[in-house]
Structure 1
Amino acid sequence: MRKRATAAWGVAIVCFVVLMLVTPKIPQSQEYHDFADQREVFGIPNTLNVISNFPFLIIGLIGLILCYYRNYFKLSLQGELLGWTCFYVGVAAVGIGSSYYHLKPNDERLVWDRLPMTIAFTSIIAIFIIERVDDRKGTVSIIPLLLAGVVSILYWRFFDDLRPYAVVQFVPCIAIPIMAILLPPMYTHSTYWLWAAGFYLLAKIEEAADKPIYNLTHHIVSGHTLKHLCAAMVPVFLTLMLAKRDIAEERLSLLQIWRISWKKVKKNGKDEENLSSTYSVVPVVE
């Protein structure tokens, strides 16, 4: 197992090095800071883009409290408490850092917007490893993954190259839904992971359509504001999952569950068809 884990890390590092060698540098575009909605209300610049970050702070603090309040989330595995603590700290910090950035958008402030997000992203990957691969390996991976996230931000800031940060941000977006479907969970309510991934995907679409959405809504709300609200639904769904879940009696992946459900649907369909055929041959008594 140790050799396999070392090989996996080695392959990941080699892939990253190759990616850095064959892809061009991605500098930070200054157009990124030009958001559609720049209205100022009550003396707050970019008001809606600022205040739409408060849900992150609220759900982050609630999650932290529930992690430690009489072990409400029943975090029993080694490293689970640390992993979820890092996640909720990152979420709460997004509410502060992103609000600070949107008050005066520029590269210097953007660091404090992205840094908390990388903490949340990398913590989630470690949590998945703890729950679905190996408790010990997941726990050991928390610090290296957090450091990888911090290094990606520093690399962007000092070398104006977003490639490492893009890897840290988008790898979880691909890996988490795949792992959620293929790997058998230790706990129930695993579908909440897919709801969280769906809302994050929707948030990225809204971010890309910032100005079109602003125009479509007749300057009521921009895509970037909606992006904040949808992204905040990610920790909401994960908090609901933690509050509801129990140890799974039988460890089945979502893919296995879907296959079983599909077989039952097909079987029921055939049974109804056979029953209908049986009724059709019943002789009519006059």
Structure 2
Amino acid sequence: MENKKWLVWIVATVIFVVLMIITPKIPQPQEYHDFADQRTLFFGIPNTLDVISNIPFFVIGIIGLVLCYRENYFHLRLQGELYGWTIFFVGVALVGIGSSYYHLSPNDSTLVWDRLPMTVAFTSIVAIFIIERIDEKTGTASIIPLFIAGILSILYWIFFDDLRPYALVQFVPCIVIPLMAILMPPMYTHSSYWLWAAVFYLLAKVEEAEDKSIYKLTCHVVSGHTLKHLCAAMTPVFLTLMLAKRSIIPDRKSLLEIWQVSWTQLRSKQHNTEVIECEYSSVNSST
């Protein structure tokens, strides 16, 4: 088992190195900082809505952090879980601060403080998933290496103006976590909340890409980037609700297995209904 774990890390490292060799460098485009909504609406805050729309990150981050330690409100059984969720909620709260700071004056220097806490949140989520779905010991041991990998991806971008490592840190979890949530048996109930969190994050990325189009479509009321912040903040909201509601599953089944059983039962129910209707229609009503 231990050899298999090392094999996974070696394969992941080899894949990363190969991708770095075969893919071209991705510099930070300066037009990224040219957001649609640059209005100063009140209190002299530049880019007002893009700045204040980060407040939900700070609020949910602080709430989640407090509940982690308030008489173990989330019923975290494993020490690794407590470490992982603590880092996650700290990262989320710092996103609220760092992203607000960036949007006051968007440029490469301030963008660092936007991306750094996001990377912390992403890497901690991966470690949490390993703890819950694969192995507690492996997941706990991966918290620090993943955290360091995230920091290194930011440093690589700063010094080499290359976004490839950061892109992997950000987007690989977006693919791997929903797949793991569907295919691997969870330790707790309410596993579907992971998928809702992923859906809102995906929606946020679409809104980010359509920043100017949405701003135009809403007659310059709200931009896609502002909506992106609000949708992305729903990700930690759903995960916080999941933590508050979930309980341990004695008989662990993946979401895929649950869906397959539900689909089979639905098909069986439909089949029985058809049989009953056929039997009913065959009755002779003549007197």
Q: Check whether TM > 0.5.
A: yes
Aligned residue for 2:283?
A: 282
What are the equivalent positions in structure 2 for 1:68-79 lying under 5 Å apart?
68-79=69-80
Structure 1 position 83 matched with structure 2 position 58 = no
Partner amino acid, structure 1, of 2:132: E
Q: Give the distance between the partners of 1:38 and 1:280, measured in 2 at CA.
A: 68
Partner of 2:253: 252
Structure-2 residue corresponding to 1:66: 67
CA distance in 2 between partners of 1:136 and 1:78 (Å):
10
What amino acid sits opposite 1:25 in the alignment? Answer: K
In structure 1, distance between residues paired with 2:79 and 2:278: 57
**2:144 maps to 1:143:** yes
Residue 223 of structure 1 corresponds to 224
Question: Aligned to 1:79, what secondary structure does the other structure show?
Answer: helix
Structure 2: distance between partners of 1:44 and 1:51? 9
Deviations 1:178-197 (Å, cap 9, x if unpaired)? 00000000100000000000
Aligned with 2:269: secondary structure? helix
- 1:9-48 aligned at under 5 Å gives the runs 9-41=9-41, 42-48=43-49
- TM-fit CA distance, 1:282: 2.0
Structure 1 residues not aligned, in runs of 5+: none
Partner Cα distance (2:214, 2:285) in 1: 64
List per-residue Cα deviations over 1:163-188 (Å, max 9, x = no partner): 00000000000001000000000100
Structure 1 ranges of 4+ moved more than 6 A: none
Deviation, structure 1 residue 44: 0.5
The normalised TM-score by structure 1 is 0.99
Q: 1:129, 1:31 → 2: CA distance?
A: 37
In the TM superposition, residue 249 of structure 1 has moved relative to its aligned partner by: 2.8
Give the length in aligned residue pairs: 286
Shift of 1:250: 1.7
How far is 1:285 from its partner?
4.7
Check the 8 A contact 1:35/1:211 in 2, yes or no. yes
Using the TM superposition, name which of 245-254 and 192-201 deviates more.
Answer: 245-254
Over residues 248-269 of structure 1, what are the superposed CA-to-partner deviations in whole Å (9 max), with x where a residue is unaligned? 1321100000000000011001
Q: Show CA shifts across 1:25-65 (max 9, x none).
A: 00000000000000012210100000000000000000000
Cα deviation digits, residues 89-119 of structure 1 (max 9, x gap)? 0000000000000000110110000000000
Contact 1:78 1:136 in 2 (8 A): no
Q: CA deviation at 1:280?
A: 1.9
Shift of 1:281: 2.1
CA contact (8 A) 1:64 1:88 kept: yes
Deviations 1:231-257 (A, max 9, x none): 000000000000000001321100000
CA contact under 8 A between 1:63 and 1:88: conserved in structure 2? yes
User: What's the offset of the Cα at 1:78?
Assistant: 3.0
Q: Match of 2:79, SS?
A: coil
